[in-house]
Amino acid sequence: MDFDPTRPKWTQIADVVRERIASGQYPTHFMISEVQLQQEFGVARLTVRKVTRTLREEGLIVTTPGMGSFVAKQEK
């Protein structure tokens, strides 16, 4: 992915994950792996944690300690 230098990387990654959730590429209960996102986008773990925190605050994902983050059931 070519990042837009005028926007923070974490916001751009969050946009990609939002689109994947909306399109069904990441269905309900799909595990959002911080390690996988870190490797895919070539960013630091802290950057990915900002993404998951934001998506959690938006209600798009839920995080269970010791288990991970998963796509939340979306209201239609």
CATH code where residue 43 lies: 1.10.10.10
Within-domain flag for 1? no
Domain of 44 in residue numbering reads as 9-71
Within-domain flag for 76? no
Residues 13-35 pLDDT 10s: 999 999 999 999 999 999 999 99
Q: Is residue 1 very low, low, confident or very high in pLDDT (cuts 50, 70, 90)? A: confident
What is the number of structural domains in the chain?
Answer: 1
Taken as a whole, the chain contains a residue count of 76
| Residue 70 DSSP SS3 | strand
Within-domain flag for 26? yes
Q: Is the predicted pLDDT of residue 74 greater than 90, yes or no?
A: no
Q: What average pLDDT does the structure give for the chain? A: 96
Q: Is residue 76 very low, low, confident or very high in pLDDT (cuts 50, 70, 90)? A: low
Main-chain dihedrals φ then ψ at residue 45, nearest 5 degrees: -60, -40
Within-domain flag for 63? yes
Within-domain flag for 3? no
